[in-house]
Amino acid sequence: MSMERVPEVGKVGEVAAVPEPVEVPERVMDLAARENYFNRELSHLQFNYRVLQQALDEHHPLINRLIFLCIFSSNMDEFFEIRVAGLRQQMKYGREMVGPDGMLPEQVLQEISQVAHEYISEQYDILNKVLIPEMEREGIHFVRRRDWTPAQAEWVRQYFEDEILPVVNPIGLDPSHPFPRLVNKSLNFIVELDGKDAFGRETGMAIVPAPRSLPRLVRLPDDVCSGGENLVFLSSMIHAHADELFPGMEIKGCYQFRLTRNADLELEDDLEDLASALRGELLSRRFGDGVRLEVADNCPEELVQFLLRQFGLTERDLYKVHGPVNLTRLMAVSGLVNRPDLTYPGFSPAVPKPIRNNEVIFDAIRKQPVLLLHPYESFTPVVDFLRQAAKDPQVLAIRQTLYRTGADSEIVEALMDAARRGKEVTAVIELRARFDEAENLELASRLQESGVVVVYGVVGYKTHAKMILIVRREEGRLKRYVHLGTGNYHAGNARLYTDYSFLSADDALGDDVNKLFQQLTGMGKALKIKKLFHAPFTLHKRLIELIDREAGFGDKGHIIFKFNALTDPEVMLALYRASQAGVKIDLIIRGICCLRPGVPGLSENIEVRSIIGRFLEHTRVYWFGNDGKPEVYCSSADAMVRNLVNRVETAFPVEEPSLATRLKEDLDACLRDNCQSWVLQPDGRYLQNQPSPDEERFACQLVLLDRLSAK
């Protein structure tokens, strides 16, 4: 297998300059030395860049390549809203925190600005020079104003009159009309005006917020086009008819811009009513401090400077873009054009035989535990687990944690149905699931109205564990059934994210899950748990103990971890110690990794790879060779301080030999990937694996899709 250098920044098709490799000593005795760690935020940016690179990968269908570009845009929005905003808050209030890498917030912000500018510039180059031309060749046209035919221009004029003009609200700037408070990430236009209005005012400038209710991309009807799929931007329509918003005034220029604001929520730990406090905070999210300004690259400098002053930003926070300021909205293309040949082929997630062959799901689970890998295997058994429980007269109680579920959730309907049928139903809802807070507040109200007992977990500790407990009367005694998972109870995500679901009737696991619910809903000391590891009490400690145990086996030891991020300093120290002891360590980390692999004397036995493909890698698995007696755990927790110390999380053992073997095969497929995996180098670069000339492509997601999904 060879590794190909992928351009990190710069023009499409060019290999951009990268920093000189960082020199590391051959033997590092101080494992905590800052040169042994990468910065968390910069590593996060690199993950976003790997997503962007999928837009250039011709093995993905064309429309999906465009969607990858949109996902990059969405990821960058959240990065600025949360990560950049957090660094700015640290500096604003004098609470600067330094991670294991030793970089101060000001240094990190400076690096972020340089890297993000390069990445975003490349994003627009990919859009304008690669994707749009390729879509044109496929008959999908983004029709520019200068190319409108008379018939198209007339249709746009009518659309503007009927759909845009009635809802748009232009704001002239003068002493009685100060600069408006613009909503986070909203599309806006700054307009240069000449002349006097009906009141004799001569403002020279106005702001036009684009209504958020309007689509940013509109399909032109076939009868005004000569073939193909023809799309026009809302911004083009507003540009073309801006003069109608200011009758009698001369429009000297109209330029789009977008402000990204701090969208993180800060709640005190001593709240009396979490739900009420959260409702108040959600209103402020739309108008937090500005952290980034995006403007059209043809906007005059004096207007750019005016906007920067209005938002209290500097040149470092300014991004001049050659195209729409919100590329995330281009995701609408997939719904506006009918080109299934340019998207991923559909597939049917499989339902394992033990469940297919049993009408009552509890009978199947009682015979043997069930392990599902979504999206290759169906999420339906998890929904059926609750549906059957709701209707089953032998079921007495249901308890479940809810982090993200979706607006129209069959899971929620099943819980409400169970409550209406008189069962004891308890839902532990995490209101602070980022960007799903409003939906979760609404969800809590709906559940309560149906008779479900709703609690909000523990203030100060997000409830991120994924657990269902069902209590059923069987043969005169109570029997517990559990579902434990690595992902959310969200049917949509289960089609896009890779996650494990584990269904079991194991008595010890049932007792453990029952005790965890007791801790979440009641009060008291931490209870003794038999099989589960649970944060914030035992998971962090046990994970490090198991790493250290493996170190005791020396070069016979083997660790495979798969999770989304590695930032916890103590876990990284333990992995360094194990590597120095000779343990082979394979880390499959989708996103952030602060550990520096491949350094002689420190981490030469550690390899870190990131897999980016059709599905979002989301499984968390801890596998230990254990001197020939492997142990494997699935978990809701990544190796981050926030997960292992500041959240409610679980890790559960998979002890059934056939299922443990199956998990190892899944991990091995990830380690064999030679085309959708990127390997982290000691100097911090990620290089994409490429098959050798005599080697076949092995894309683990495609292999698992073929192996596990229904044929």
CATH number of the domain that 169 lies in? 3.30.1840.10
- Asked whether residue 525 carries a pLDDT value surpassing 90, the answer given is no
Would you give the DSSP letter of residue 464?
A: -
In a domain, 425, yes or no: yes
- Asked whether residue 29 carries a pLDDT value surpassing 60, the answer given is no
Predicted confidence band of residue 127 (pLDDT cuts 50, 70, 90): very high
On whether 404 is known to bind a ligand per the annotation, the reply is yes
- Work out the average pLDDT over 686-694: 94
Which of 270-274, 404-408, 488-492 has the highest mean predicted lDDT (pLDDT)? Answer: 488-492
117: annotated active-site residue: no
Residue indicated by tokens 């683990």 = 700
As a whole number of angstroms, the distance between CA 606 and CA 600 comes to 10
Q: What is the CATH number of the domain that holds 443?
A: 3.30.870.10
Same domain, 501 and 540: no
On whether 44 is known to bind a ligand per the annotation, the reply is no
Measuring CA to CA, which residue among 643, 621, 619, 620 is closest to residue 632? 621
Predicted confidence band of residue 84 (pLDDT cuts 50, 70, 90): very high
- Asked whether residue 17 carries a pLDDT value surpassing 80, the answer given is no
Residue type, 390: A
On whether 434 is known to bind a ligand per the annotation, the reply is yes
Please state, for a pLDDT cut of 70, what percent of the chain lies above it.
Answer: 90
- Low-confidence winner among 16-25, 260-269, 409-418 (lowest mean pLDDT): 16-25
Give, rounded to a whole angstrom, the gap between the first and last alpha carbons of the chain. Answer: 30
If one counts the domains in the chain, the total is: 3
Same domain, 670 and 545: yes
CB 291 within 8 A of CB 84: yes
* Chosen domain end from 487, 521, 555: 521
b or e along 672-697 (b: 16 or more beta carbons within 10 Å of the residue's beta carbon)?
ebbbbbbbbebbbbbebbbeeeeeee
Tell me what pLDDT residue 354 has: 85
- Work out the average pLDDT over 305-311: 95
- Asked whether residue 522 carries a pLDDT value surpassing 50, the answer given is yes
List pLDDT tens digits, range 430-462.
876 565 667 767 888 888 899 999 988 777 888
Same domain, 394 and 543: no
List pLDDT tens digits, range 531-569.
999 999 999 999 999 999 999 999 999 999 999 999 999
User: What six digits make up the tokens of 291?
Assistant: 């952290």
Predicted confidence band of residue 95 (pLDDT cuts 50, 70, 90): confident
- Asked whether residue 512 carries a pLDDT value surpassing 50, the answer given is yes
Residue ranges of E strands in 94-177? 140-142, 171-172
On whether 285 is known to bind a ligand per the annotation, the reply is no
- Asked whether residue 416 carries a pLDDT value surpassing 70, the answer given is yes
In a domain, 537, yes or no: yes
- Asked whether residue 26 carries a pLDDT value surpassing 60, the answer given is no
* Chosen domain end from 292, 308, 342: 342
- Asked whether residue 404 carries a pLDDT value surpassing 90, the answer given is no
Tell me what pLDDT residue 176 has: 61
On whether 590 is known to bind a ligand per the annotation, the reply is yes
In a domain, 23, yes or no: no
Same domain, 563 and 462: no
User: What six digits make up the tokens of 52?
Assistant: 């962007």
Tell me what pLDDT residue 521 has: 87
- Work out the average pLDDT over 182-195: 90
Tell me what pLDDT residue 284 has: 54
- Asked whether residue 700 carries a pLDDT value surpassing 60, the answer given is yes
Same domain, 452 and 315: no
- Asked whether residue 38 carries a pLDDT value surpassing 60, the answer given is yes
In a domain, 109, yes or no: no
In a domain, 40, yes or no: no
Predicted confidence band of residue 123 (pLDDT cuts 50, 70, 90): very high
* Chosen domain end from 342, 376, 401: 342
Measuring CA to CA, which residue among 42, 21, 47, 50 is closest to residue 99? 42
Residue type, 159: Y
Out of 464, 483, 490, 534, the active site residue is 464
On whether 497 is known to bind a ligand per the annotation, the reply is yes
In a domain, 492, yes or no: yes
Same domain, 420 and 319: no
As a whole number of angstroms, the distance between CA 538 and CA 529 comes to 9
- Asked whether residue 263 carries a pLDDT value surpassing 70, the answer given is yes
**Residue 332's domain spans which residues?**
139-342
Same domain, 468 and 577: no
Predicted confidence band of residue 69 (pLDDT cuts 50, 70, 90): very high
Q: Report the chain's mean pLDDT, rounded to a whole number.
A: 89
Same domain, 365 and 464: yes
Tell me what pLDDT residue 358 has: 84
In a domain, 671, yes or no: yes
Predicted confidence band of residue 410 (pLDDT cuts 50, 70, 90): very high
Same domain, 360 and 305: no
CB 530 within 8 A of CB 507: no
Predicted confidence band of residue 265 (pLDDT cuts 50, 70, 90): low
- Asked whether residue 264 carries a pLDDT value surpassing 70, the answer given is yes
- Asked whether residue 580 carries a pLDDT value surpassing 90, the answer given is yes
Tell me what pLDDT residue 9 has: 39
Tell me what pLDDT residue 711 has: 59
Tell me what pLDDT residue 666 has: 97
- Asked whether residue 634 carries a pLDDT value surpassing 90, the answer given is yes
- Low-confidence winner among 106-115, 202-211, 289-298, 681-690 (lowest mean pLDDT): 202-211
Sign of CA dihedral 41, 43, 45, 48: negative
User: What six digits make up the tokens of 3?
Assistant: 């590794």
Tell me what pLDDT residue 222 has: 94
Tell me what pLDDT residue 19 has: 40
Task: Give, for 707, the enclosing helix (H) or strand (E).
Answer: helix 700-708
List pLDDT tens digits, range 323-381.
999 899 999 999 999 999 999 999 999 999 889 888 899 999 999 999 999 999 999 99
Same domain, 245 and 333: yes
Tell me what pLDDT residue 435 has: 58
Measuring CA to CA, which residue among 467, 485, 463 is closest to residue 374? 485
- Work out the average pLDDT over 80-88: 92
Same domain, 148 and 192: yes
Residue indicated by tokens 């079991």 = 504
Tell me what pLDDT residue 94 has: 79
User: What six digits make up the tokens of 653?
Assistant: 């053992």
- Low-confidence winner among 472-481, 523-532, 620-629, 673-682 (lowest mean pLDDT): 523-532
User: What six digits make up the tokens of 371?
Assistant: 């392990």
Predicted confidence band of residue 709 (pLDDT cuts 50, 70, 90): confident
Same domain, 374 and 284: no
Residue 427 burial (CB count, 10 A): 25
In a domain, 43, yes or no: no
List pLDDT tens digits, range 167-182.
999 988 875 678 888 9
